[in-house]
Structure 1
Amino acid sequence: MVTRMRRSHGVDPARIFITGLSAGGAMTAVMLATYPEVFAGGGIIAGLPFGAASDVRHVMAAMKKPRASTPQEWGDLVRSASAHTGRRPTVSIWHGTHDGTVAVANADALLSQWTNVHGLPEATFAQTVVAGHCRRTWLNKKGEVVVELTLIEGMGHGTPVRRTKAQASAGDAGPFMLDVGLSSSLHLARSWDLVSRRASSNRR
């Protein structure tokens, strides 16, 4: 499907990204691991690390508590998922600290997995606060952000959004769209250079 869209619409193959929430977040991790040559990056929101489970029973267990694995073991699962040896997609991980559906420990496991895949020490990162929420970034040797983790303080299970006054007056946000004053979609679009910062400055 991605190839069909790319060919039909003249999409730059170096600017293809994927993102998803919950089961979609887990599938995003699957796609990044199994088709790393297709995607430049991905946003995993309240998802599971690749290889966390192989059937429904284990998925339910992993949602509550990911299995104990070393960063190397998590990383090896990704490396063994394809024959790819080139660059790996950038990964942006988002999770609410009060998520009662998918435990925030899965964000930690995802972080261990993808920092290992990128060959980065998990303990070496830069930390900032964005709209009151913790954001950590890991850079490659070129100084580019290749892994990032944003923890949304107090948020449950859903996608973080920031509604404008006009949107707020239209009614409540949809299911699993949680207004926390920070939009993961807009942040991802900016970091992937899909929208200009100037054009989106009023829609944070």
Structure 2
Amino acid sequence: MLNRNRVQEATRLTRAGKLVEATALLQRMLQGESAAEPFARTGPPAPARPEPPTIEVKADVIGEKERHQTTRAASAQPRARPAPFDNMREFAGLGLRGPMLRAPPSSSDIAPDGTQFIAGTFGNAAGVRGYKLFVPSRYRREPLPLVVMLHGCTQSADDFAAGTRMNFLAEERKCFVVYPEQPSGANQSKCWNWFRGGDQQRDGGEPSLIAGITRQIMRDYPVDPKRVYVAGMSAGGAAAAIMAATHPDLYAAVGIHSGLVCGAASDLPSALVAMRQGARSTLSHGGPQVPTIVFHGDRDTTVHPNNGDRIAEQAGNASDLKAKVIAGKVPHGHAYTRTILIDVSGRAVSEHWNVHGAGHAWSGGSPAGTYTDPSGPDATREMLRFFLEQSLPT
């Protein structure tokens, strides 16, 4: 009864716009704390600044069997407990924590010399959003792939580009990259509002804005319409999952890092429960399943690692898939388990990278951006590799 009363009170506070109070109340409930206990003020230390490592060439295939057998074995593995963090500040909205204010990344950390990073805007009945577009130096007006990158809470296009280094990989592989930006006016902490029902639909809310930005770039530049992809981190990862579920005709593949499955929540209280405990239910949108690559750290205390499992399960929701499980390790970094689901044609329709010992941070990212872990496998390189193996059917 006490928990039910707290949820009702948190819902009332949310409707009144008191997100900080609602978040604190629900987190105390989920952590089993008394109402008088203060909000813990913890977070990860700033990492060292090594170059993002590459994945070790040698990896062991530890099993190739029917997918239901592999799923049972994976679900039985214990979750590691996270270590405490420090030197962070809390921010409102979803009980997330962000880094103290820091200098913005330099231009050399955002994009290679000789390339373009162009600011633009898009608007429709749902509002107006800015974006940044990366154009590779070797672009000669031929059709190129497009990657849509959705940042996490408190981040910006510049920060997300610097942390993921997606522009540097896109320069190598010759791709456009667009970074829609969520303003603080839409969410106090610049989170994409993935937990609101109105922002989980195809023709309204934030999905219509993100799709509108995507289509605007496709009109303004010769994008290959069969090779358009969407990826995101944290709240951006949850938004990317929504884009894949609502626009399977637009995106050929989706990358979700430390995010949640579409339909994981319908309001702030259910969002906090899904983040803390893992999503229990999903929306069914029907239509074709979009190929999906998932990265999640098994010590993520912001978005429970079970959420990565739920995404992978939904992406592999077919009876004729086989699973290949590969164990590997980054030199002097994190170990990982990579589960690949393969259809009858031999095509990989899903990859799930479970990064052991990693928290809520972009795996293999650069410390020039926030929420990065240089010790993990390179999520940017692996996502782009997976994307370019996929295309929409004719």
TM-score normalised to structure 1 length: 0.78
Pairs aligned (count): 172
Q: Which residue of 1 aligns with 2:355?
A: 152
Runs (4+) off by over 6 Å: none
- Once the two structures are TM-superposed, the CA of residue 174 in structure 1 deviates from its matched residue by 2.6
Q: How does 1:42-53 map to 2 (within 5 A)?
A: 42-53=254-265
Alpha-carbon distance in 2 for matches of 1:64, 1:191: 29
Higher Rg: 2
1:178 and 2:358 are equivalent in the alignment: no
Alpha-carbon distance in 1 for matches of 2:280, 2:235: 21
Contact 1:120–1:140 (CA under 8 A) maintained in structure 2:
no
Q: Which residue of 2 aligns with 1:29?
A: 241
SS of match in other structure, 1:137 = strand
- Once the two structures are TM-superposed, the CA of residue 193 in structure 1 deviates from its matched residue by 2.6
Distance 1:130 1:10, change over 3 A: farther
Q: Which residue of 1 aligns with 2:326?
A: 128
Alpha-carbon distance in 2 for matches of 1:181, 1:60: 26
1:187 and 2:382 are equivalent in the alignment: yes
Q: Which residue of 2 aligns with 1:96?
A: 297
> Unaligned 5+ residue runs, structure 1?
164-171, 195-204
Alpha-carbon distance in 1 for matches of 2:348, 2:259: 20
Q: Which residue of 2 aligns with 1:7?
A: 219
Q: Which residue of 2 aligns with 1:115?
A: 316
Q: Which residue of 2 aligns with 1:169?
A: none
Alpha-carbon distance in 1 for matches of 2:249, 2:361: 28
Alpha-carbon distance in 1 for matches of 2:280, 2:247: 25
- Once the two structures are TM-superposed, the CA of residue 67 in structure 1 deviates from its matched residue by 4.3
- Calculate the aligned-residue CA RMSD, in Å: 1.9
Distance 1:190 1:68, change over 3 A: closer
Alpha-carbon distance in 1 for matches of 2:384, 2:328: 16
Contact 1:127–1:135 (CA under 8 A) maintained in structure 2:
yes
Alpha-carbon distance in 2 for matches of 1:9, 1:173: 29
Q: Which residue of 2 aligns with 1:38?
A: 250
Alpha-carbon distance in 2 for matches of 1:143, 1:15: 20
Alpha-carbon distance in 2 for matches of 1:31, 1:126: 27
Q: Which amino acid aligns with 2:256?
A: I
- Once the two structures are TM-superposed, the CA of residue 173 in structure 1 deviates from its matched residue by 4.2
- Once the two structures are TM-superposed, the CA of residue 162 in structure 1 deviates from its matched residue by 5.6
* Deviation per residue, 1:50-91 (Å, 9 max, x gap): 11101111111100113434xxxx4xx2334xxxx4x43210
Distance 1:46 1:121, change over 3 A: farther
Q: Which residue of 2 aligns with 1:78?
A: 284
Distance 1:135 1:67, change over 3 A: closer
Alpha-carbon distance in 1 for matches of 2:339, 2:327: 9
Sequence identity (%): 29
* Deviation per residue, 1:92-129 (Å, 9 max, x gap): 0110010010000111111222211xx2468x410112
Alpha-carbon distance in 2 for matches of 1:13, 1:173: 32
Contact 1:21–1:45 (CA under 8 A) maintained in structure 2:
yes
Q: Which residue of 1 aligns with 2:364?
A: 161
> Unaligned 5+ residue runs, structure 2?
1-212, 330-334, 390-394
Alpha-carbon distance in 1 for matches of 2:378, 2:300: 17
